[in-house]
Structure 1
């Protein structure tokens, strides 16, 4: 069985694999205070947990992910929840939407997995003229060595392993004119989190290579815990 990290997450039914977990997501959404009817695009929706939460608040939600297994679980979650979420399989770097479509783009630990600045350009393109990007992104307290970057890239498929100033520099090179970043928050131990709609493929636990991947993930998270964290980048189109 050949499986990458994202497919492993999908088969585990993980709904909030980003720093801070689902609690951090709900806290950020509460701070933003989306009005009912806000057209929100969630980029990298995973199993659809955040997309369904946004829909439950009255947002008009479109959600994309490039991973087939994630999309299938997101569709199932929305169906079970009875929530109107439009779910599309698509890549952040090339989205099948018209220019000036959404009031907000909401994404968490997705841009780090894209090459160059293509995704950031796409966020800008699909936002309406007054639209806002909210991007909780993986960040590092200090620059990593080439060997450290190689470790993370080979296992997770990460392309951007940036410090806060490096993220801001990348945003500054985009068409977003107004942008800011929250302070760096170090990764904490995840809070116990009950996701009643999580669907786990239990067969995974019988497969040595899948179990080995889970163990390697734990080792990497532990070894990088002192430098790994997140920031929230907010950028408006106009």
Structure 2
């Protein structure tokens, strides 16, 4: 069985795996306007942690989308357990199964960098309504990576290229977003220090009954890479507007 990074996350049912976790998500959403009729797409919803939080706290229409069957199963179990009527769909952010101009907000947490970025951004733009908002949390390089370092990133995460903040901004522009703001930035090293000092909450775990031994190896490689490239890799929270 050939496992990848997302298989390992799914087997352990890691919710809030993105930097800053659910705490960071809450802080971002506090500054967003929600109405009862607001339609939100949690693109790459994972175990459904963010979708659940939005549905419970903002009482709006939430649609959760993920490609991984194990994540879909765990999100479905969460929504049932918490008695939430969230529409859950299995599908890719590279081909979002909804019509044009369906959503007021699209939220993608540590998803887009693992996909074909230009295609995914165009899909987000397509399904957003006019004056819609895209919020993404994505891996961003702090410094240039050597050929060997980029190869390590590709081996662990399957990412062909890690973009700089400038390259991300250009990508949003190419997808026709009218403006992009960087809401937060941090290196991996700084984030790990926050976690070690208990300033940040740890991810949530919903482990599967059976976890393939390879999953532990992949997550160990992830941790090793974080320590090795902690100053060169980081993340940003981007907020982009559709206003055409």
Q: TM-score, with normalisation over the residues of structure 2?
A: 0.89
User: Partner residue of 2:20?
Assistant: 20
- How far apart are 1:194 and its partner, in Å? 7.0
Structure 1 stretch displaced more, 66-75 or 219-228: 219-228
User: Partner residue of 2:222?
Assistant: 217
User: Partner residue of 1:51?
Assistant: 51
* 1:78 lines up with 2:87 in the alignment: no
CA RMSD of aligned residues (A): 1.7
**What CA distance in whole angstroms lies between the structure 1 residues aligned with 2:41 and 2:54?**
10
Of the three residues 186, 193, 202, the one matched with 1:193 is 202
Do the aligned partners of 1:75 and 1:87 also contact (CA within 8 Å) in 2?
A: yes
* 1:3 lines up with 2:3 in the alignment: yes
- How far apart are 1:34 and its partner, in Å? 2.6
Alignment of 1:1-238 (within 5 A): 1-57=1-57, 58-187=59-188, 188-189=191-192, 190=195, 191-193=200-202, 195=204, 198-201=205-208, 203-204=210-211, 207-238=212-243
Distance change >3 Å, CA 174–CA 127, structure 1 → 2:
same
Distance change >3 Å, CA 202–CA 225, structure 1 → 2:
farther
Do the aligned partners of 1:143 and 1:162 also contact (CA within 8 Å) in 2?
A: no
Distance change >3 Å, CA 184–CA 192, structure 1 → 2:
closer
SS class of match (1:37): coil
SS class of match (2:95): coil
Which ranges in structure 1 are unaligned for 5 or more consecutive residues?
Answer: none
Task: Determine which structure has greater relative contact order: mean sequence separation of CA pairs < 8 Å that are 6+ residues apart, divided by chain length.
Answer: 2
SS class of match (2:94): coil
**What CA distance in whole angstroms lies between the structure 1 residues aligned with 2:127 and 2:39?**
11
Q: TM-score, with normalisation over the residues of structure 1?
A: 0.92
Do the aligned partners of 2:141 and 2:163 also contact (CA within 8 Å) in 1?
A: yes
**What CA distance in whole angstroms lies between the structure 1 residues aligned with 2:216 and 2:39?**
39
- How far apart are 1:193 and its partner, in Å? 3.3
**What CA distance in whole angstroms lies between the structure 1 residues aligned with 2:20 and 2:203?**
14
Work out the number of aligned pairs and report it. 234
Do the aligned partners of 1:40 and 1:102 also contact (CA within 8 Å) in 2?
A: yes
Distance change >3 Å, CA 222–CA 170, structure 1 → 2:
same
Residue by residue over 1:132-187, the C-alpha shift from the partner in whole angstroms, topping out at 9 and shown as x without a partner, is: 11112111111222221121112112244111111111112121122222352223
- How far apart are 1:78 and its partner, in Å? 0.7
Which ranges in structure 2 are unaligned for 5 or more consecutive residues?
Answer: none
**What CA distance in whole angstroms lies between the structure 2 residues aligned with 1:167 and 1:203?**
38
- Displaced runs of 4 or more, over 6 A: none
